Amino acid sequence: MMSNFINKIKEKTSRSKGNKDEQQFSIQPHPAKSNNPAEVEGPQVGAGLNSNPEMQAHHARGPHVPSQEIKNNLEQPLSRDELRARAAELNK
């Protein structure tokens, strides 16, 4: 008796709505050929650590060795005595 009453209410409410407002969902085919997410989309801005420009230093091949010309143009480092004198001057 209770289920009959509920069925009548369902019929009345479904008629008053109509099918125009009812949402419909369908299953779409999966666009990927494999389950690897890296194959679905290429690299994008903000797509993680690999596309972050600051993280590119971690993908470096080796140390940078300056040319002989750059090495010759570098000034000589100060001696310990000169550094101590400079530190004393700055700490006054």
Q: Give pLDDT, residue 52.
A: 67
Expressed as residue numbers, the domain containing 73 is 4-91
pTM as predicted: 0.30
Query: What is the rounded CA–CA span in Å between residue 39 and residue 47?
Result: 14
Number of structural domains, the chain? 1
- pLDDT tens column, 2-13: 678 888 887 777
What is the overall mean pLDDT for the chain? 78
Evaluate whether 44 touches 51 at the Cβ level (below 8 Å).
Answer: yes
Evaluate whether 21 touches 14 at the Cβ level (below 8 Å).
Answer: no
- Residue 82: is its pLDDT beyond 60? yes
Specify the higher pLDDT residue, 39 or 77: 77
